Chains A and B, each alone.
Chain A
């Protein structure tokens, strides 16, 4: 009976077969057998976080920056419920994560046992799929299936709930990865060729085309981004990226018109409004992108490439839907464009570019920064971060959620995919720091920076302990304006300047806070100190917080106020009256 293994040992064997190198987790009663098995092996490294939500975000950061599946291990009950925010975040942003949750022994399920929660019930709505393993013989098969489901098609989080007796029982059953047959799950990868042909022909007929590419291109792997660049250059079409898609197309390229959407550039949004053919690759017509739905790009033929059929015609009805993987479809598009020798009328395209360049001339991201003793403007802080890192090829950025996130998206330039990790769909404050920990674990020789706000960072600040324990030189750059800036901005725009609960009193001294955890703390309060402080942060080889104190009441512009169409943008320097009148009627009820 020497080949009998416990459920926990079988689980580890299956994870090793899946190529798992790192697990982010937190122990507890129900998962002790797994921790015991982890203790007795050397293939998988365990990273001890300080809160289960952070474990999932760290796994997301790891997955997004490496292209692998992130793996999480938490205990039953509170361990699992703490993970729910992270799982929902991963579902909204289509990030492949496998989360192992402990469960009370099978005979106690339903008895309201200590640390029992209906984990599969709770996580059904926030995972791509979940499993409750009821017998030890099923462990290996479920693990392999879970990784397949998490990583393929539209990626997402998968939960495996493991009762303690299943982990302790012994079995000699082990199913290999290659033995897995799931007949009911068949994601469509290859786009319908007839549809692809229609799409390229429509694009070739365009007078005012635009490519609008999203996170689906990033998820399709770095090759998909290369194909996107190739296709965009061969067609000469302007391209915009969503928040999730930044880095899919090099930001410094002249065909790139910036990010689109609520805080996107003037030129990107007006090009979307005025285009006659729109090619959407791997984006989902999110409400942050479309603005007022019935005035969204009213005169365009819309092509939509998405791996998830339920994303198509969900918000916006499209003319040419293509279900497939962004990379495969782009490959077909390039091939067809070449073989049919298609081109877009150069005269029309030239006129379109002249129009776009005119919009560019508005300089919607322009601002002025006074020198010396002057307060640092947040835009300037991010612009300098960009300028001081642009010569480097090893910088990975994550963010928290709010104004700083939008400024980071506007002023940082991403030349390659998998360099930008932000919580786009769920908008989870507290995402960025644990994500940066995961990025640093997955990419030890890179410079991982979490651009944060002083409110967001406090939501997972306990992870300083994790970063210091594993000697991770993660950098946190806090754009500190003492306000929940985006909440404050909306209160200014929507609620007559009644700033209810958006000011943070009693903030910690972030420098001392860092030091108390054994990390390094830096602060800058005026323009003259900024560059040196950023450089000191970049040069630091230990966990570092840079408390960048900025102007308190800065608004994030440009902005499409909610309920407004693309042409109705608020630009920097908009008059008080215009700002005050920006959101009215049904826009008030939107988020």
Chain B
């Protein structure tokens, strides 16, 4: 039975580290649903990678072990499992999307109205288009995009999921 998990991985910010992580997935045919990476600690030269993946319990354990085996990897935390272990809600997960909608007339008004409901911000506009910035859970963004489809959806750019665990314990 397949389940979805979110991993947080702390790595040395050095060339090739992302290729190692991705190669580990592609080389074994594992799936990546979402992947984000950015430096988080300038002094310690550390980057944080957030990976959303799915697989059987056995595959997910393999992914964790294989990530830990990489030399530049400092820590791997299965945030979903940590939340379950602490009997908490799933980890706080957020994604940012920029959505371009092109249209005029009623459709344009409707797009703006829906954006208001979703608390999406207009970050660029002209007489014939909007660029909305929306942030939230992945499912919220999915819904927003679905609603924009008949209203002139022209372009989507999503950041991928970032996540931290709930509670006072840190990675």
Contact = CB atoms under 8 A, between A and B. Distances in A.
Contact of A124 (B11, B20, B68): B20
A132 B66 CA distance: 22
Nearest to B11: A184
Interface stretch (A310-318, A358-366, A376-384, A472-480): A310-318
Interface residues of A, number: 20
A185 interface: yes
Size class of B's contact patch?
A: 20 to 34
B71 A129 contact: yes
Interface string B19-46: 1100100010000000000000000000
B43 to A, nearest CB: 13
Interface string A119-147: 01100110011101000000000000000
B15 A132 contact: yes
Contacts of A317: 58
B16 interface: yes
A14 to B, nearest CB: 18
Contact of A309 (B19, B68, B71): B68
A184 B73 contact: yes
Contact of B72 (A132, A184, A312): A184
Interface string B60-84: 0110011011111110000000000
A120 B68 contact: no
Contacts of B69: 308-310
Contact of B23 (A125, A183, A313): A125
B12 interface: yes
A182 interface: yes
A132 B16 contact: yes
Nearest to A309: B65
Given A125-B27, A310-B66, A313-B61, A149 B71 contact: yes
Contacts of B23: 124-125
A137 B122 CA distance: 50
A449 to B, nearest CB: 36
Contact of B12 (A132, A184, A310, A313): A184
Interface in A282-332: 308-310, 312-314, 317
B74 A183 contact: yes
Contacts of A120: 16
Contacts of B12: 184
Contacts of B62: 310, 313-314
A558 B62 CA distance: 34
B67 to A, nearest CB: 9
Contacts of B61: 313
B19 A128 contact: no
A308 B72 CA distance: 16
Contact of B65 (A130, A184, A310): A310
A313 B66 CA distance: 12
A161 B61 CA distance: 32
Contacts of A132: 15-16
A271 B23 CA distance: 39
A313 B58 contact: yes
Nearest to A134: B15
Contacts of B71: 128-129, 149, 182, 184-185
Contacts of B74: 183-184
Nearest to A311: B65
Contacts of B27: 125
A312 B68 CA distance: 14
B140 to A, nearest CB: 35
Given A309-B65, A310-B69, A124 B16 contact: yes
Contacts of A309: 65, 68-69
A125 B20 CA distance: 8
Contacts of B11: 184
A129 B70 CA distance: 8
Interface in B78-121: none
Contacts of B20: 124
Contacts of A183: 74
A62 to B, nearest CB: 24
A34 B159 CA distance: 46
Given A132-B15, A184-B72, A317-B58, 6 more contacts: A124-B16, A125-B27, A130-B16, A149-B71, A309-B69, A310-B68
10 contacts: A120-B16, A124-B20, A130-B16, A132-B15, A149-B71, A184-B74, A309-B68, A310-B65, A312-B65, A313-B58
- 6 tightest A-B contacts by CB? A310-B65, A129-B71, A184-B74, A309-B65, A310-B66, A185-B71
